[in-house]
Structure 1
Amino acid sequence: MSLTDDFLAAATTRGPKPSAILAAVAPQLDATGYMGRCLSRPAFLEAEEYHRLASDLDLLHSALTRIPERLFGGDLAAFALAVGLTEEQAAAVVRGRGTAPSRFARADMYKDGDGFHLLEINMGSTAGGVDNPILNKAMLELPFIADFVERHRLDYTETMEEVVRTILTEAKVPTGVRPTMAIADFPDSYPDLERQLHKIGAMLTPMGIDALPCPVDALEYKDDRVWLGDRPIDIVFRLFMIEDLLKPGAVAMLDPVLQASERGHVAIFTPLDAELYGSKGCLALLSDEAYRDRYSPDELAALDRILPWTRMVRRGPVTVDGRKTDLLEYAVAAREELVLKPTSLHGGDGVLLGWRSDPQTWAARLDEAMDKPWVLQRRVRPVPETFLTDDGEEEWLLTWGAFLVSQGLGGFWVRGSQELDGGIVNIATGATASCCFFRTS
């Protein structure tokens, strides 16, 4: 019997009502990534699943972050243009590149009977959900869940602590130094996140960082330091995204921070090149059989397990299941098995699901996307999971967000939708999230 089956059986006979669970934990979820709501139970992972996923994501990160040297001779700008960035974005990425690719990321995946399959990877500091352990702790205040976790020797990861460790490592903060960090978002999106960012800042205080949320235009560069008012800033935690660079005046607004970083006067967590590796165009390069000779056997095995068929939308032949075919002809014929995605947008923006589109709309959107920064990705069919209600049970489709940090796998942010055919799962548009407990041995 799986952990999930065991939990459901126990909860049905002697557990608290799901409504009682939700009522107990909801007050702690205000001004968090959960947006005040959650699913009626945690998600669970067996030890074998956990360790395989940790290994596969580590190999995926290795393969992703070595694309520039393996495919582009180390030319980061050429790589950026190849995966769909504009010249202005590519120039900013080159200016804001780190000394090494960041280890901080969130891989979003579906899970079927064969394991996890990647939908996208959010590389860098813009990956949300790091406050997920709030729900683990709230769930553990319920005796029934605490007893289940203890009996099955389950664990969870303090994601926020792992993120802090990663920040201090990658920003090269000396041991014993308490840095001051600006959590900087773009001015037009900052007001919506301000309460949540202040709550996260308070959580970071006992972990060794003084965190000050702000819009990025509040930062000033003078006297070889970045300043927020009268506070000198050691680290800028970047919440502004690569698509923000396309907004009028954005590059000029960010120029002081980029200048300070180039001169070694402030550390950016994470540098702009992190988002480059999160482009869906990177997944198309990793998926392309033409480059399989560039990767180790271990990397290839991981990619084959975790990465669905993905290609840039380009005219001409592609390889599908070992056979050459015309991309457009294949995309039209296989509409119900494909998703059309922009390479560098977030939150499901622009995504078109072939199985929810009529043939005319699908063909028109393919024509619009052709030879532009878009990818086609093969549909993943996840297995829904059962959640109890006060009156019975219901099925939810889970998107597993797994964090990568400096020490490996850094916890989970699990989001659920009742659109069981695989619709876009987004907390801001109504999805509901949960936490995860896992077994490691």
Structure 2
Amino acid sequence: MSLTDDYLAAAADRGPKASAILAAAAPELDATTYFGRCLSRPVFLEADVYRQLAADLDLLHSALTRLPERVFGGDLAEFARTVGMAETQVQAICRGRGPAPSRMGRADMYRDAQGFHLLEMNMGSTVGGVDNTVLNAAMLQHPFIAEFVDANGLTYRDTMTEVARTILTEAKVPSGVRPVMAIADFPDSYPELERILHKSAAMLAPLGIDALPCPVDALEYRDERIWLGDRQIDVVFRLFMIEDVLKPGAVELLEPVLQAAERGHVAIFTPLDAELYGSKGALALLSDEAYRDRYPADELAALDRILPWTRMVRSGPVTVDGERIDLEQYALANREELVLKPTALHGGDGVLLGWQTEPDVWAAKLSEAMDNPWVLQRRIRPVPEVFPTDDGTEEWLLSWGAILVSDGLGGFLVRGSQQLDGDVVNMSTGATATCCFHQP
């Protein structure tokens, strides 16, 4: 039996009511990623599954971040254009690039009977859910869960601690120095996140970072430093996304930070080039058989396990299961097995699920996307997981968010939906989430 089977059997035999677990956890979840709600139990991973996933995601990161050198001869700008970035974004990325690709990210996945399969790779400091371990701690306050975790030797990684370590490492903060970090978002989205950002800033304080949330237009560049009021800023934690660069006046708004970073007067965590590796267009390049000779055997094996068939929406033939076929004809004939996604938007914006779309609408959207920054991806059919209720059980479809940090896998944000045929699983649009414990 799996850990999940063991837990469900024990919960049915002697466990508390699901509502008691939810009531105990909810007070700890205000002003967090969880929006005050959670599922009725944790999820669990056995050691061999955890180990394989960690190895595969490490190899996936390696393959993604070497695409510019392996496919474009080191030309970052050409890579950016190929994956669908507008010229304004290309210039911002080239100016705001880091000395090396960041390790910070979150791989969003479904899990079927064969294992984990990637939906998208979110790279950089804009990934949500790094406060997820507040729920691990809240769940462990319940004796039944604490006893099960202890009896099975389970553990979890404190994501916020790992993120702090990643910031200090990648921003090259000298040992023993306590940096001042501005957590900066665009002015239009900052008010919505402000409460959560202040709570996250408080969590970073005991980890050696003085974090100050602010809108990016509150930052000034003078005397060869970035300032927030009278505080000198050592690190700008970037919450604004690559699509924000296209907003009117955005480039001018970011100019002080970009200038300071170019001159070495501030570190950006994470640099804007991180957004490139999180583009769905980058996944399409990894999935394309035309470039398989660019990767070593271990990376290819990981890609074959974890990455579903993904292609840029381009007119002409593509390879599907070893055969060449016209992409538009294939997409029209296989609508119920495909998803249409914009390459550089976040949070499920613009995603079209073929099996939930009428044929004429699908055809029209496909025509609009043709030769534009969109990808097609093969549908994954996840196996739902069972969760206790007060009077029985219910099934939830889970999206597993595995958070990447400087030294590997740094925790999980696991979100659930009861749309079991597939859905865009997003906390801001009503999803409910849980935490993960794993065998070490």
TM-score band, normalised by shorter chain: over 0.9
Alpha-carbon distance in 2 for matches of 1:169, 1:19: 42
Find the residue that maps to 2:372 and give its secondary structure.
Answer: coil
Within 5 Å, give how 1:160-171 maps onto structure 2. Answer: 160-171=160-171
- Cα deviation, 1:232-262, whole Å, max 9, x if unaligned, reads 0000000000000010000110010000000
After superposing on structure 2, the runs of 4+ consecutive aligned residues of structure 1 that deviate more than 4 Å are none
Q: In the alignment, what sits opposite 1:418?
A: 418
Within 5 Å, give how 1:17-416 maps onto structure 2. Answer: 17-416=17-416
Find the residue that maps to 2:4 and give its secondary structure.
Answer: helix
Count residues with an aligned counterpart: 440
Find the residue that maps to 1:121 and give its secondary structure.
Answer: strand
* Alpha-carbon shift at residue 391 of structure 1 (Å): 1.2
Alpha-carbon distance in 2 for matches of 1:269, 1:433: 26
Alpha-carbon distance in 2 for matches of 1:227, 1:42: 42
- Cα deviation, 1:375-434, whole Å, max 9, x if unaligned, reads 000000000000010011100000000011111110100000000011110100000000
* Alpha-carbon shift at residue 117 of structure 1 (Å): 0.1
Find the residue that maps to 1:169 and give its secondary structure.
Answer: helix
Which amino acid is 2:70 matched to? R
Alpha-carbon distance in 2 for matches of 1:49, 1:171: 32
Q: Give unpaired runs (5+ residues) of structure 2.
A: none
- Cα deviation, 1:309-357, whole Å, max 9, x if unaligned, reads 0000000000000000000000000000000000000011000000001
Alpha-carbon distance in 2 for matches of 1:286, 1:276: 13
Percent same amino acid at aligned positions? 76
Which amino acid is 1:261 matched to? A
* Alpha-carbon shift at residue 170 of structure 1 (Å): 0.3
Which amino acid is 1:302 matched to? A
Find the residue that maps to 2:411 and give its secondary structure.
Answer: strand
- Cα deviation, 1:352-373, whole Å, max 9, x if unaligned, reads 0000011100000000000000
Which amino acid is 2:229 matched to? G
Normalized against structure 1, the TM-score is what? 1.00
Find the residue that maps to 1:117 and give its secondary structure.
Answer: strand
* Alpha-carbon shift at residue 268 of structure 1 (Å): 0.3
* Alpha-carbon shift at residue 265 of structure 1 (Å): 0.2
Alpha-carbon distance in 2 for matches of 1:418, 1:45: 21
Which amino acid is 1:275 matched to? E
* Alpha-carbon shift at residue 13 of structure 1 (Å): 1.1
Q: In the alignment, what sits opposite 1:12?
A: 12
Q: Give unpaired runs (5+ residues) of structure 1.
A: none
Alpha-carbon distance in 1 for matches of 2:408, 2:352: 33
Alpha-carbon distance in 2 for matches of 1:179, 1:282: 33
Aligned alpha-carbon RMSD (Å): 0.4
Alpha-carbon distance in 2 for matches of 1:357, 1:418: 19
Alpha-carbon distance in 2 for matches of 1:342, 1:376: 9
Find the residue that maps to 1:92 and give its secondary structure.
Answer: helix
Which amino acid is 2:42 matched to? P
Which amino acid is 2:169 matched to? T
Normalized against structure 2, the TM-score is what? 1.00
Alpha-carbon distance in 2 for matches of 1:155, 1:61: 24
- Cα deviation, 1:282-301, whole Å, max 9, x if unaligned, reads 00000000000000000000
